[in-house]
Homo-oligomer: A and B are copies of this chain.
Amino acid sequence: MEKFELAVRGGIVLTMDDEMSVLSPGSIGIEDGEIQYVGKDEVRGEEEICAHGCIVTPGFVNCHTHSPMTLFRNAFEDQPLEKWLREYVWPVEARLKPEHVRIGARVAAAEMALHGVTCFNDMYFYMDQVAEAAVEVGIRGVLSEGMVELFSDRASEEVLRKGTEFAKKYHGWKGMIWAALGPHAEYSCSLEFLRKVREEADKLGVGIHIHLAETKPPVDEFVKVHGKTPIKALDEMGFLRKDVLIAHAIYLSNEDLKIIRERDAAVAYNPVSNMKLASGAARIEEMMSMGIRIGLGTDGPGSNNSLDMIQDMKIASLLQKLRYMDPRSLPARNVVKMVTRGGAEALNLDHLIGSIKVGKRADVVVINTRKVRYQPVRDPYTALTYCGSGSDVKDVIVDGRIIVRDGILQTIDVEKALEEFEKAVSELFG
């Protein structure tokens, strides 16, 4: 029997490879952080994870969030976005210090890790703090300083400088962090600014992470001012390329969809946030059948409120079924694909992660599906999608390192992180 540094033994392995192979049971051999064996033969490891009665998947990729906003959750809820931002979030954000961001991001990274997220795409500020928190916890991050230009020249230079400085310093950091530029949205950045962002991204060789068409009024307003949709305008200036990730993408014309497909830009679908804030329902089923690259996002913890992608997988499918009034929309298999390989593709990291395949980095999640709620596991895709909870994640491996074992985070002291977090919350909100 072959022996590896680390072996995952005996689960239902959803590889998400090109053939969507399912090994039941299957085993994984890991060496130097890389997957070196996937198959039906039993293997041994110096370290071993028993996946008997479990479903094993590639690590989940959270394609859109604002992780430090754990600080803001569970208060001032059930409010319109504008009111929530103006009366609650912005006044406190004005007082946020880098250490608050670190503390909030650490709790978010811990929560994501515990729920099987091994890579997240994040936009906020003080992103160096988020990078540190992600590495502490042991998950990968694609991080961007949120650049809210607000149409003033001074702000424009300042935010662009901050965004590019962060990207220069952190892109490729410790093999776990990638940077992107994060112009905030079509309503908070001018076209001129977005042109500059595109140029900087090209110079730096990093991607772009932007909110577009999340709600209807800004899109209508944009069309009124510019005589064309945001997607059309961005495309005309050469902004849209394979390295652009569009968060939300709800209010799009048919032509917009075609443009996104043609330029091979990617989309982050955030079903929970889109429902919670009453933003609307993106046309994900159509986008998928067009071949647009799509990942799943939780959005910030303030508008979800958990960072449990298994929970969000179910809602992702339910929302599409309702959107098209067709129960065949976004079937479970496509949801599992979206949350793993789809996310990796959307972030252009699929050469490294997103499937359980020899040669890829070893990001693996083991979910305890022996529990009653999953039975019978006749179709593992539907059992995971429709019966699942992130609270049932048993083990998580990132880059060959076990960061969660039997539901316990191995990398940081969660109790201590929560104490600091509680202190920060009472400091900020009194």
Taking Cβ atoms with an 8 Å cutoff, the residues of A that contact B are 70-71, 73-75, 77-81, 107, 110-111, 114-115, 272, 274-278, 280-281, 304-308, 311, 314-315, 317-319, 321-322, 324-329, 331-332, 371-379, 382-383, 386-392, 414, 418, 421-422, 425, 429
Contact = CB atoms under 8 A, between A and B. Distances in A.
A310 to B, nearest CB: 9
Given A272-B318, A306-B373, A373-B115, A78 B387 contact: no
Given A305-B387, A328-B79, A418 B276 contact: no
Contacts of A305: 382-383, 386-387
A114 B389 contact: no
A73 B381 CA distance: 12
Contacts of A326: 80, 278
Nearest to A76: B379
Given A278-B321, A327-B276, A306 B77 contact: no
A376 B311 contact: no
A73 B425 CA distance: 42
Nearest to A386: B305
Contacts of A281: 322
A382 B111 contact: no
Contacts of A331: 77-78
A391 B376 contact: no
Contacts of A386: 73-74, 77, 276, 304-306
Nearest to A302: B386
Contacts of A277: 321, 327
Contacts of A322: 274-275, 278, 280-281, 319, 322
A422 B372 CA distance: 11
A77 to B, nearest CB: 4
Nearest to A273: B318
Contact of A73 (B80, B324, B325, B376): B376
Given A371-B391, A389-B308, A276 B376 contact: no
A205 B107 CA distance: 54
Residue in A305, A327, A371 whose Cβ sees the most chain B Cβ within 10 Å: A327
B308 A80 contact: no
Contacts of A304: 386
Contact of A276 (B111, B318, B391): B318
Nearest to A407: B371
Contact of A391 (B280, B315, B378, B389): B389
B314 A379 contact: no
A130 to B, nearest CB: 17
B390 A332 contact: no
Question: What are the 8 closest A-B residue pairs judged by CB atoms, nearest first?
Answer: A391-B391, A275-B318, A78-B331, A305-B386, A389-B389, A75-B378, A77-B382, A389-B391
Given A75-B378, A278-B321, A278-B327, 9 more contacts: A71-B376, A74-B377, A79-B328, A81-B327, A278-B325, A278-B329, A305-B383, A376-B421, A391-B392
